[in-house]
Amino acid sequence: MSRRKKLSVGIGSATQALDRFESVWKRAERGRPVTPESRLTFSSLPQLLKELSPSRWELLETLRVEGKTTIYALAGRLGRHYKNVHTDVTRLIQLGLIEKTKDGKVNVPWDVIAAELKLAA
């Protein structure tokens, strides 16, 4: 059975990220098991919503279903202009949500993108 690749998306500060890192580091130092985790953290909800806009989310969903494809073919499938899709794909690559293969095709490497948004205490 293949393992599902999961990316956790959320909102947090650099301090919280460093705290998580320190906790994992200490756990590893004590010889305790450490579970690898992939995480993408934004500084605020407005930033998250800007980066994962409805059109970018549709792009991710379409690309996940279609599999590896060219940006040109993806733009055609979405009915959007190539330039706009290229801009979105480039940003999603920078964020680690999309990968580009050696042959120039793009794909979504994640089976699950899970978001958790906590209300301030």
Inside any domain, residue 106: yes
Quickly state the pLDDT bin for 25 (edges 50, 70, 90): confident
The percent helix, strand, coil of the chain (3-state, each to 5) is: 50, 15, 35
CATH number, residue 52: 1.10.10.10
pTM: 0.81
pLDDT of residue 20: 78
**Per-residue pLDDT at 5 exceeds 80:** yes
Question: Total structural domains in the chain?
Answer: 1
Inside any domain, residue 78: yes
Inside any domain, residue 121: no
Residue-wise pLDDT tens digits, 26-74: 888 888 887 777 889 898 889 999 999 999 999 999 999 999 999 999 9
Inside any domain, residue 1: no
Inside any domain, residue 48: yes
Residue 13: domain span: 6-116
CA end-to-end distance (rounded Å), the chain:
40
Q: Compute the average pLDDT of residues 95-105.
A: 95
